[in-house]
Structure 1
Amino acid sequence: MLLWVPLLVIAPVCGQSDELILQASYPVFEGDSLVLRCLEKERKKLTEVTFYKNQMALTSFKKYSDFSIPKATLNDSGQYHCSAKKSSIWSWLASKMETRTVTIQVQELFSVPILRSTTLQPSEGTPVTLSCETQLRPEKADTQLHFSFFRDGRIILSGQKRTPKLQFTKVWQEDSGSYLCEAKTVTSGIWKRSHPVRIEVRRVPVSGIHLETQPPGGQVTEGKTLLLLCSVARGTGDITFSWHKEGPEAILKKKTQRSLVAEFKILAMRESEAGKYYCAADNTNSPLRSRPVSISVKIPVSPPLLTFSVPETQMFVGKVVELQCDCQRGSAPILYRFYHEGKVMKNSSAPFGGAASFNLSLTEQHAGNYFCEADNGIAMQSSKVLTLSVRVPVSRPLLTIRKATGRDMVELRCEAKTGTTPILYRFFHQDIILGSGWACLGEAAFLNLSLTAEDYGIYSCDADNGIGPQLSEGVKLPVTGKQRGLLAGGVSLGLLGFLGLIGVALLLYFRTQRRSGQSFALVYSRNPAIPGSQERAEVELEPTYVNDPGQQSRTHNTAFADLGLTVNPVIRDVVYAEVWRSQQKEEDADDLTSMLPTQDFSVVYSKVKAEQPLEERVRMTEATDGTQKDNIGSYENVQLHS
């Protein structure tokens, strides 16, 4: 509430008159309206009213006697007075009056603010609080003030905030500068600023640098991500991190951030990226370097390759074969496993990488499917499956000779108890090949022979399946008493009628070449050319006639050629020839004819020339006198089993 203070001054000779009064409001605070009123004591009208401050005229009015300052400030304080004339028709004759000097003091609304800080030299990363302190006059305690804060002349906080404090949770080096605050009234617009205060933020150098890796230990699988984590124990402000690999001084990655930890990722590691890595950190132009960390790239194993040391054709029982499993790529150590028919048969480790192998002395049980596995803890790979076929060498064959059906017929039987099929059998008489043929294991080869005087002696056979032939023991076929008698009778008759018999012998010789002879047959229970076939087959071997008994046949039977058999018979005078197949068991070898009544056999009848004494043949020759040369001799039918 403003109080008007009348100032009555009696005008002295110098022109001051008590009839003129200067009236002003009181008290006056900053922002208040200051009104000065110049009045005549008797309230008469005044003219030519002039107001003065500190003896200097402020303004003049012809009729008005009031002077107003809308918003007083401290600068409006001073010595005020006014002068005026009384208004009359004789005003030009009236004298000018002045009031006494009055001191007007505009009072401060609030004190000049003072800026205070919790610290003037804070460390980076620490909190700081600024306070703008001022005091309102008690009479104006309800006046609202707004505060603003400035750094280096730039506002950092708006004046709409009523709190006189500014809080920094963390200050950084760039927050250093000259700070001041401002307090301002909401309505009157009175504002005051504090004196500036210098705040210097100190930077803490980086220390305690450390490089970590993910995965831990610095071992990363090829193609996987490697994380390099660089950290410092202390350090303020913006820290520049960089990552390096020893060797060429090239920066792999560089980044600046306000943090104590930074990371760098290598998304897909390659084998060539293995080596030593380190990181560096800097916030004061003095970089700090970490200790290097060794990074190794583990390579998954590639699919291994399984190999055998010998070719398939040489894999037979007793042969030593090396099985080797090898990976072209893969970090050591590598564990190899060898499998046979799905079961582990051998484990082998390669501590420094490379291949693993072991030797195997082959038996029949080692035949089958093989593969190997490679495992280095990162990946496991399997090789392709290989099949190993073990060939068994033939055992020493057994040759047996027994009498066959028919006169002077014998059957030679040759069989090896073991050996990989097919097996080639050959029959020998005094080192001369009588015949050969193929058979499967469990089957014997047979040779039927019609005996003559030259057929007695040592017989043998051999068996061969490509690994190595085996020769049987020799079996001696002795000359029987009947054959010896026939030979003696022939010699005696020759001595009695040497000249006469020469002609007969020549005649008989030519007839015999056409009608007599010998044959043999290789007998099998299955067709070797068609394994597994159970159909009964019958092949007839045509007789071959050659004059020279010491030579082998120069012809080949087409039926045996179709079956894949090779038959090389000894050339003799042929009596008859027959080939058959039989499923003969070993226990039935001594009595084959016992099977005839109970089994269905293929029967081949062949007309066989019956053996005659030499004397009888001479008589028949002389009786016929050569007119029936083709019918000389006696024939009989012989039933043969198959």
Structure 2
Amino acid sequence: MERPYNNPENWNEVQRSLSSEYRLPSVRVYDSGEYHCAAATPDNTVYRWSSTITIQIPEMFSKPELRVSSNPITEGSALTLTCGTTPSTVSTGELQFAFYWDGQELQGFTSSNQYRVYSVQLEDSGNYSCEVQHPAKRILKTSELFYIQVVGGAVRPVVSLSPNWANILTGDWVTLTCDVGSTAGTAPRYSWYKDNKMMNKDTPTKEYIIYYALETNSGTYQCQTGTSERSEPVSLSVTDGPLILQAPPYVYEGDSLTMRCYSKSGGDTVFYKDNNPVAPTYGDQLHTEGVNMTVTGTYRCSKGKTYQSDSVFISVRELFSRPEIKVRPSPLAEGSNMTITCDTALHPSRITTPLQFAFYINGNTVREFSLSRIYRVYSAGPGDWGDYSCAVRTPTGTVLKLSNVTQIHEKGKNFLLSVGLPLLVILIIIIAVGIYKLRHKAGQTRRSSDQSNTGIPLSETQALAEDGDSQPHPASPAPPPTATDNTLVPSAGGSSSDGTEDMKPEGI
């Protein structure tokens, strides 16, 4: 029997045998298609094809989807995970569900499609997924990963401005907004402060609007929700002109930065950074995409030859710290489960910014960028040891930072590398020096013995050499003898008739 593709030349043969039956013990949706069979004699002299039949296998249940009660969710709140699927040929009661966090099983297969955490903690952040199976039919499907972020219970609010200018002219309007994270379904109340003095308390609205700005509206503004701490102060400056350089109160790595040379009158605009002219990008605006630390500097602007703005210092803040590799457990043993964390800290005012993490070993990628800052190795072995590093980036890739390299080895291996190897080198040097001294001492002993065998006292030999009447044959240095050393040395006897010395084994 064969299952053909649309092109008969590409029919996919699934069985060739003496049996007239083709059996699939557990069909899947992908087994749907057009089937036909062929019968032939052993020598293929007679070959017959059947007509084609179409088999459509309905989906037993849809791919599951993980749903969460709240995300991001406040620390201490209750979290409910639901593994949703749509049965088509079976009932929901026949299915079983399991839940996972960063690859670890949270709840094994049961008939419940929900998993509940009664009080989530910060460390519960991570990638969650679920699986659905029909145990009798051996069908299993897995959901996509879903990243859940747990934030601190008392989230510090952030004041934002709209328009996002830290300085405005009199008569302009501006809206201050008190932004907070997840409030676990509660309706927060807002309090506003100017120059550390409360302006209003427990209002239901998170906005404070200045419809017609006066110079007296200049100052630092903060907000507070419930028992949270006050927000970071935001400065607002209201001046009477005639020309100001407008910029946001805070700028972070990766932001799009726009500055405006603003006045009630026109004129050709010139921007300056650290007293060097910078061409504007949009008339009276200077725009920069994806800023980094190099944008930091002192800016001002001019219009025509008449007006000059005051200087504004722009300091680009770090969005998140350089990542650091952290390993648990420490030290490691072969066969243990290893958890590697790419640890970084977002600026408190940008705590809700999503980040992506990637992991590398010996320069090779072991996990592409994802929302999980954790990489797990189960039953670690020799193939898992090496130099680990990680990278963190924003989803747009405008900010990317790499960690330092961290060596991860089995327990005791680091000791051998850092301590044992230097000790071995020192030991080899000591042995080499000892051998050299032993050979040097043996050579001196040999030369002294050869001179004494000539019958000439050492002092007389030196005298003869000085007078030039006779030059004694110096003894050649030799390696120290061993138990198997058969080296021939000059005897104490005279020379032979041809001028060569008689030779015999030493000691004979």
Instruction: Tell whether the structures are fold-level matches, with TM greater than 0.5.
Output: no
With the shorter chain as reference, the TM-score category is 0.3 to 0.5
Task: Answer with 1 or 2: which has the greater Rg.
Answer: 1
Normalising by structure 2, report the TM-score.
Answer: 0.33
